């Protein structure tokens, strides 16, 4: 693996991705979509990323074959499974826990931190991926979800995860700017049955 060609992007509320290049001197490696990937720290002892191959581009230079690999995180496990179920007047966290128990446990996904959240009046999933179902619940509640590198699914409110640092006046070069948005406003709501 080319060390300077390896990158990992991780942000709350978004899927983590990693990309790297594998040098194949003997043209002996074969990489395919869905193949598991683990990336370790420099000491080779701690896993810093788990995911699955999403895309492979191969390029030959002389006798050397370079595999440029893009990966997706463990959300892929929820993309693979479909759910057909309806929920009425249940807590958001209970719905997510049920999806884990009913479908995602088959992929060895377990419950991490699942916050109760508000009551969802109605949620109907008609053979959609478990990822789409959980994303819909997260959008209704304003929560975020993630399947971490240990295959634990977390469903939490954004405010419940503190930043690992504190910002003080010394950190400010100039006055901060902010934008007020109303991205949850809608004047028309369409509900598909």
Q: Is the pLDDT of residue 135 over 90?
A: yes
- Entry pTM: 0.74
DSSP 65-128: EEEEEEEE-THHHHHH-EEEEEEEEEEHHHHHHHHHHHTGGGGT-EEEEE---PEEEEEEEEEE
For the chain, give the mean pLDDT.
87
| Interacting residues of 112 by C-beta distance below 8 A, sequence separation 6+ | 148, 152, 153, 154
| pLDDT score at 12 | 67
Strands 110-114 and 152-156: parallel
Asked whether the beta carbons of 70 and 54 are under 8 A apart, the reply is: yes
| pLDDT score at 3 | 56
- pLDDT tens digits, 68-95: 999 999 999 999 999 999 999 999 999 9
| pLDDT score at 172 | 66
- pLDDT tens digits, 8-38: 887 766 788 899 998 988 888 889 998 999 8
- pLDDT tens digits, 55-64: 999 998 888 8
| pLDDT score at 121 | 94
Q: Is the pLDDT of residue 185 over 90?
A: no
CA distance 152 to 111: 5
């Amino acid at each position: 693996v080319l060390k300077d060609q390896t990158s990992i992007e991780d942000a709350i509320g978004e899927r983590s991705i990693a990309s790297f290049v594998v040098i194949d001197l003997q043209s002996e490696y074969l990489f395919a979509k869905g193949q598991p990937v683990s990336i370790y720290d420099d000491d080779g002892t701690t896993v810093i990323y788990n995911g699955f191959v999403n895309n492979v581009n191969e390029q030959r230079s002389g006798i050397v074959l370079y595999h440029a690999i893009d990966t997706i995180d463990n959300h892929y496990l929820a993309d693979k499974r479909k759910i057909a179920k309806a929920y009425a007047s249940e807590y958001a966290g209970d719905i997510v826990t049920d999806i884990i128990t009913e479908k995602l446990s088959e992929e060895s996904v377990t419950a991490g931190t699942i916050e109760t959240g508000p009551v969802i009046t109605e949620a109907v999933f008609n053979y959609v991926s478990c990822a789409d179902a959980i994303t819909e619940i997260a959008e209704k509640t304003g929560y975020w979800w993630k399947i971490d590198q240990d295959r634990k699914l977390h469903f939490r409110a954004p405010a419940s995860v503190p930043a690992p640092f504190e910002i003080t006046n010394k950190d400010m070069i100039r006055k901060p700017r902010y934008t007020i948005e109303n991205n949850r406003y809608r004047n028309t709501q369409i509900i598909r049955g």
